[in-house]
Amino acid sequence: MAYLRVLASLAIFFHVVLADCECGYSITSTSGERQYVFTDLLENDFIHLDLTSDSQSYGEYGWAPQEFNMSSEVARGRYGEAFTPQNVISNNIAEEQTFEGPGSKGGDAGLNLVVRSEVQNGMVTGADISTTDVHFFHGTFRAGIKVTDVPGTCSAFFWYMNDTQEIDIEFLSSEFNRTNSTFPVNLVLQSQESKDAGFDASKTRDFQKINLPFDPTTAFHEYRIDFLSDRVIFYADDELLTEMNGTGVPSTPGNLQLSHWSNGNMGWSQGPPGTDATTTVTYVKAYFNSSLESRQHDYQTRCKDPSAPNAICAIPRHNATFFFSNVDNMTPNQTTYHNNGGGRTRWCRRLFTFIVALVIGTWVA
């Protein structure tokens, strides 16, 4: 009878741990007629997470600064591009409840992505970070970004698998004009069609240049990509920008990237910038369906009744300071990251695994 009492206690505890969001995180369609549910999350608060400390290992928080070169021919510009981890700079705030103001290095707190003005060996040095996992399939992806006001760079937030499976939000700082309040954002699906056009997506159906109703260089704004099975929807501060569908919608999983670069291409980034240019990112929030069989199995294990109260959690709309991973009991079986003095925690997934093992072991005994 003792083992039955243990099992009963574990069952109660197990239910409590998985009470909220055990069946995922949801958005509704712009018409409000359909709910989309995503099984996994990756939330990163770059105001408080130090992505670039020497003590951090590669991919410590699910992201890693990239280091690679592209020749001018490959980059399709006057200059080549050199991406270096030194141009990715964490500028954190120590107080975990403070989400705005200067960071420890001065200037806006967050993750700084820098493009240098000096050309070195025929290359302009820039910054790129990417998720170390490539299992991000359909989902909603959001980033808080303040774009540089220095002309001559391209700042980008994008989902990527390859050059014909890509979803881009790109800002060309040379296009900004405060005199007539022109602040365009370029929304792109890089596809086979764009490849056939010499990778000039502006000649395809899946390219739109939309003027923002605000200056993206003076404050942080949320830019969002909803990658669904049959369409891609773009938002700024929760306001619909445009929707694209058709053959350009990617059909594979991929990863997320943030980059800031210049190569002197007069038809795109222009540049290099006259002075060092910085684009700052305060957070990325990704809610998605994983392509990994192991994660799909985890979901089936924990989601027993999608109709149960709080089994599915609605994703807040345009809330820069809310993270499910900062709330107790809302990330069952998910990997979460916290500052905690520079460390990280993966307690949710570990706790779930521990409980499953304990329940099975007790049952066997």
pLDDT in tens, 252-310: 999 999 999 999 999 999 999 999 999 999 999 999 999 999 999 999 999 999 999 99
Position 191 confidence tier, pLDDT thresholds 50, 70, 90: confident
pLDDT: is 21 or 199 the higher one?
Answer: 21
What's the mean pLDDT when you consider all of the chain? 88
Is the per-residue pLDDT at 355 higher than 60? no
d(C-alpha 308, C-alpha 199), whole Å = 48
Q: Which residue has the tokens 């990704």?
A: 286
pTM for the whole thing?
0.89
pLDDT over 70 percentage in the chain: 87
**Residues 116, 104: Cα–Cα separation, whole Å:** 21
The residue type found at 74 is V
Q: Rounded distance, CA 347 to CA 349, Å? A: 6
**∠ CA 320-323-328, rounded to 5°:** 150
pLDDT value for 342: 39
Q: Is the pLDDT of residue 353 over 60?
A: no
Query: pLDDT-derived band of residue 350, with 50, 70 and 90 as boundaries?
Result: very low
- At 20-59, the pLDDT tens digits run 999 999 999 876 789 999 999 999 999 999 999 888 888 8
Q: What percent of the chain has pLDDT over 90?
A: 78
Can you tell me the distance from the alpha carbon of 349 to that of 207, in angstroms, rounded to the nearest whole number?
39
For every residue of 42-91, which 3-state class applies, written as one string?
EEEECCCCCCCCCCCCCCCCCEEECCEEECHHHHCCCCEEEECHHHEEEE
**pLDDT (tens digit per residue) in 108-155:** 999 999 999 999 999 999 999 999 999 999 999 999 999 999 999 999
Task: Evaluate if residue 356 carries a pLDDT over 60.
Answer: no
pLDDT at 330: 96
pLDDT band (50, 70, 90) for residue 339: low
Question: Domains, the chain, ranges and CATH?
Answer: 2-33+291-364 (no CATH), 40-289 (2.60.120.200)
Confidence of residue 10 (pLDDT cuts 50, 70, 90): very low
DSSP of 286-347 = EEEEE--HHHHHHHHHH-S-TTSTTSSEEPPSS-TT--GGGSTTS-TT------GGG----H
Residue 363 has pLDDT above 60, yes or no: no
| Nearest residue to 133 via CA among 343, 356, 334, 339 | 334
Measured in whole angstroms, how far is the alpha carbon of residue 44 from the centre of its chain?
8
Residue 193 has a pLDDT of 85
